[in-house]
Amino acid sequence: MPRPFSMKKVIITGPHSVFEKVVKELHDMKVLHVVDHSKNELADIGKPFADSQRYSELLVKARALISALGVTGERKRSNGINGIEEAEIRIRNLGNELNGVLHQIKEDDETISKNESMKKELLAFGSINVPLEHLAEYKSLNVFAGNLKDAESIDNIKKKLKNITDKSLFEHESSFFVFFVESKKKEETLKLLNSHGFKPIQLSNFGSLKGTANSNISRMEHESNDCLSRKIELTKRLERMKIDNAEFLLKTESHLSKELEKLEAPLKCASTESCFLVKGWVPENDLFQSIENLEKVSGGKIHVWYDAPKSSDNVPVKLNNINPAKPFEFFLDLYSFPTFKEIDPTFFVFLTFPLFFGMMLGDVGYGLVGMVLFWFLKRKIKSAKNLFNILIVSSFVSILFGFLFGEIFGYEFIEHPVINRAHDILTLMIISVIIGAVHLNFGFILGFINERKSHGLMHAINTKLSWIVLQIGIVLIGLSLSNLINLPWYTGAGFLALSVIMLIKGEGIRGVIELPSILSNILSYVRIMAIGLSSVILALIINESASEFFKGGPLLIIIGVLLLIVGHAVNIMLGFLGSFLHSLRLHYVEYFSKFFHGGAKKYVPFGYLNNGNNGA
C-alpha cells in the first residue's frame, strides 16, 4: 500500500563553536524539517549569527528596488554573487540614482501642472498688453482685474465711471478687464463694478511674473515642453536601469534570502550559553547519511539523537509516489495531507480521476483541444505545472472514451459505437452506479486497512466492513424479491441486521443515522452519466443549428461557422470545468470520506526555498 515516507524524529545538540557549520550543512543537505523551538525555562531561542542585520537590510533594499523598477521574472537560483560588499555598493548607487530620477520626474510633473493652471488664468488676458508686474499694490492707485457678468456692461461702466473720476485707465477684452483707479475712489468704483457682477482674480498669483500675459504664456509653454521631454528621457533611463539591473537584482535577492535563512536559523533553535539544540524530522532513508555528514563537518563535536514517531506526534509528511502519479499530489495539497500512519491515496486518485474525467468529457475533439490547450498553458504558467499535467492526462483519457462513444465534437463518427451516450442513457446510468459501488467499496477496504492500523482489527471490521455487509444484504434482498436467485428474502435481511449491529458497536447510534448515505453516495456517481449527457446534448444542438445555416447562402454559412466555433468553445469550457470539479468532488466527498482523515503538515526541509513550483 502506498504510504508516505517514514520519518524519524531527530534532535541535534552541540557547542556553539560548530553551530554555524552545522546550520550550513543542514541548509545544503535539505533534509531536516525544523520544528520551531518556543522559549521555555530550560533554553531560550538562539540569536541570529553576526551579519544577519546587514543581510536583512540589504535584502529589504534589493526588494524595494525590484518593486520600484517593476522587475519581474523567475527568481533564479544563483550560486552566489560577487561578494556582499560589491552588492552593497551597487545597490546603494542604484538606490541613489533611482531616487534622483524619481525626484526629478516628480519635480517636472509639479512644474507642468503649475504652469498648466497658471496658463488658464493668463489666457483670460487675451490681447490686453499690461505688463503683469504693473498689477502690484500702489499708494495712490488701485488695481482691479477680473470678469464681468457680460461684455455689454463694459460700456455702461465706462459711462458711469466718468461721473466718479477722470483719473482711471480701463483695458478690456470681451468681459475680462484690467482697471486702474485712484485710491480715493476705490470704494465707489468697487460698488459700481459689483453691481455688474464683478468677479475678481487673485492678482497675488502673478506676483513674480514679468512682462505681458502673452509673453508669459509662451515662456511657460516652452518650460513645460522642456519638462515633458526631460520626463520622457528619464522614463527611458528608468527602463534602461531596469533592463541592466534585473538579473543582478533577482540574483542578489535570491542569494540574500538564502543566506538570511541560514543566518536567522538560530531563531528556530534552542540555545543555552554554550550549546545549541535543533529539533526536527528527517526521512528515514536520508537519516544515516545526514548524521555522517554532520559529524564530519563538526569534527565529531555534535550529538544526534533519533527515534521513531509516537502516535501523538504531529509528523510532517513527505509523499512517496511513482513519477506519473506525482502531479496528483496537487489534489492532496488542496485538501489535506494524510498523516504518517495513513494510506496515501494519490496513486488511486491517479487511477480513477482521469477515468471519471474522461467518461464525463468523452469526446475525441474536445480531448484533443484539451491536450493542446493545457500543453500550451503548462509552458506559459510554470507554477501550475502539476494541475496542467493532470488535465493533459485526463484529456488523453477523454480521447479514448471519445472512441468508445464514437463522438468527435458531438458528431457520431462511428455508426455503432460501443455506447451511444445520447441514446443509451439507462445503460450509462447503470454503468455509473456500478463504478460508484466499486469505487466506494474500494474506499471501504482502504478504510479498513487504515482503521486496523490505528484502532485495531475489531474496530476496523465494525466500522468499515459493516458497510460492505450492508450492501450485500441490500443486494440479496433485491435479488431474492425479484426471484433472480433462489434464496428466501430473510437471508439478505440477516446480513442487513448484522451490519446494523456491527455499526452500532463500531460507531454508535451515529452510524445508524448515516445508513441512507450509502445510497446517496452511490447514486451520486450518476453524475458521471449526467455531465456527459448534458455535454453531448449541447454539442448536438450546436451542430444541428449550425447545419441549418449551412443550407443557406455564403453569409449564412459564415454565421454557421461562427456558431460552431463559439458554441463548441463554450461547451468545451463548460465540459472541462464540470468534468474537473465533479470528478474531484466524487473523490473528495464520496471516496475520501470512506477512509481518509488527513490533517498532517507538509514536509518542508530547511534550505528548501519555496519557489512556487508546487501547485497552483
Partner 1 sequence: MVDMGTGLIAVGAGLAIGISAIAAALAESTIGAAAVGAMAEKEELFGKGLILTVIPETLVIFGLVIAYLILQMAK
Nearest to 593 by CA among 458, 431, 467, 430: 467
Nearer to partner 1, 89 or 581 (CB): 581
Site for partner 1 in 64-103 (CB under 8 A): none
Amino acid at 49: F
Nearer to partner 1, 456 or 599 (CB): 599
Minimum CB distance to partner 1, residue 582 (Å): 8
Cβ–Cβ < 8 Å for 108, 118 = no
Q: Give 180 or 525: the residue with its C-beta nearer to partner 1.
A: 525
Minimum distance, C-beta of residue 482 to partner 1, in the bound complex (Å): 17
CB of 33 to partner 1, least distance (A): 18
Q: Which is closer to partner 1, CB of 334 or CB of 381?
A: 334
Q: Cα torsion at 333, 335, 339, 341 (round to 10°)?
A: -110
User: How far is residue 439's CA from residue 534's CA, in Å, rounded to a whole number?
Assistant: 23
Is the CB of residue 10 less than 8 Å from the CB of residue 280? yes
For the segment 342-371, give every residue that binds partner 1 (CB under 8 A): none
Could you say which of 530, 537, 557, 559 contacts partner 1 (CB under 8 A)?
530
Residues contacting partner 1: total by CB under 8 A: 17
- The 537-576 site mask, x for binding partner 1 (CB under 8 A), equals ----------------------------------------
Residues 580-609 that bind partner 1 (CB under 8 A): 581, 584-585, 588-589
Question: At closest approach, how far in Å is the CB of 592 from partner 1?
Answer: 8
- Closer to partner 1 at the Cβ: 68 or 429? 429
Among residues 154, 404, 526, 574, the one that binds partner 1 under rule CB under 8 A: 526
**In this complex, which beta carbon is closest to partner 1, that of residue 242 or of residue 527?**
527
**Phi, psi for 73 (deg, rounded to 5):** 140, 170
DSSP, residue by residue, 61-121? HHHHHHHHHT--S-----S--S-HHHHHHHHHHHHHHHHHHHHHHHHHHHHHHHHHHHHHH
Q: Does 335 bind partner 1 (CB under 8 A)?
A: yes
**Distance in angstroms (rounded) separating the CA atoms of residues 76 and 83:** 17
Residue closer to partner 1 (CB basis): 108 or 590: 590
- In angstroms, the CA 42 to CA 60 distance is 34
Nearer to partner 1 among residue 164 and residue 526 (C-beta): 526
Rounded Cα distance, 73 and 76, in Å: 8
> Toward partner 1, which CB reaches closer, 493 or 523?
523
Q: Where are the alpha helices (DSSP H) in 463-553?
A: 466-481, 489-507, 509-513, 517-523, 526-550
Kindly tell me which residue out of 89, 334, 569, 573 binds partner 1, with binding defined by CB under 8 A. 334
Q: Could you give the CA distance from residue 352 to residue 330 in angstroms, rounded to a whole number? A: 15
Q: Which stretch binds partner 1 (CB under 8 A): 236-244, 297-305, 328-336, 392-400?
A: 328-336
Which one-letter DSSP state was computed for residue 265?
A: G
Task: Select from 333, 325, 327 the least CA-distant residue to 598.
Answer: 333
Q: Which residues in 412-451 contact partner 1 (CB under 8 A)?
A: 425-426, 429
Q: How far is the CB of 532 from partner 1 (least distance, A)?
A: 12
Shortest separation between residue 530's beta carbon and partner 1, angstroms: 5
Between 263 and 435, name the residue whose CB sits nearer to partner 1.
435
Phi and psi, residue 303, nearest 5°: -125, 130
Distance (Å, rounded) from C-alpha 489 to C-alpha 506? 26
- What is the smallest separation between the CB atom of 10 and partner 1, expressed in angstroms? 26
Nearer to partner 1, 279 or 527 (CB): 527
Nearer to partner 1, 255 or 527 (CB): 527
Q: How far is the CB of 253 from partner 1 (least distance, A)?
A: 24
| Whether the Cβ atoms of residue 201 and residue 143 lie closer than 8 Å to each other | no
If you count them, how many residues does the chain have? 616
Quick one: which of 261, 260, 270 has its CA closest to 36? 270
Task: Copy the grid coordinates of residue 250.
Answer: 533577482
Q: Phi first, then psi: what are they for 307, rounded to 5°? A: -160, 160
Applying CB under 8 A, the span of 286-294, 312-320, 330-338, 364-372 interacting with partner 1 comes to 330-338
Contact 409, 381 (CB under 8 A): no
Q: Which is nearer to partner 1, 409 or 576 (CB)?
A: 576
Q: Please report how close the Cβ of residue 601 comes to partner 1 at its closest, in angstroms.
A: 11
Q: How far is the CB of 427 from partner 1 (least distance, A)?
A: 12
Measure the CA–CA gap between 46 and 12, rounded to whole angstroms: 14
Tell me, what DSSP letter sits at residue 383? Answer: G
Q: Cβ 410 to partner 1, closest distance in Å? A: 21
Q: Which stretch binds partner 1 (CB under 8 A): 91-99, 377-385, 493-501, 525-533?
A: 525-533
Nearest approach, Cβ of residue 527 and partner 1 (Å): 6
**Cα separation, 514 vs 469, whole angstroms:** 15
Q: How far is the CB of 13 from partner 1 (least distance, A)?
A: 33
Q: In the set 275, 422, 523, 538, which binds partner 1 (CB under 8 A)?
A: 523
Is the Cβ of residue 217 or residue 530 nearer to partner 1 in the bound state?
530
Q: Tell me the residue type at 6.
A: S
Cβ distance 349 to 324 under 8 Å?
A: no
Min dist. Cβ of residue 520 to partner 1 (A): 5
Of 524, 535, 579, 583, the one binding partner 1 (CB under 8 A) is 524
- First vs last C-alpha separation in the chain: 28
The string of DSSP letters for 196-215 reads: TT-EE--GGGGTT--S-HHH
> CB-wise, 530 or 557, nearer to partner 1?
530
Q: Which residues of 239-261 are buried (b: 16+ CB within 10 A; e: fewer)?
A: eebbeebbebbbbbbbbbbbbbb
Tell me the closest approach of the beta carbon of residue 234 to partner 1, in angstroms: 40
Helix (H), strand (E) at residue 168: strand 168-173
Compose the 502-521 pattern: x for residues touching partner 1 by CB under 8 A, - for all others.
------------------x-
Chain positions contacting partner 1, by CB under 8 A: 334-336, 425-426, 429, 520, 523-524, 526-527, 530, 581, 584-585, 588-589
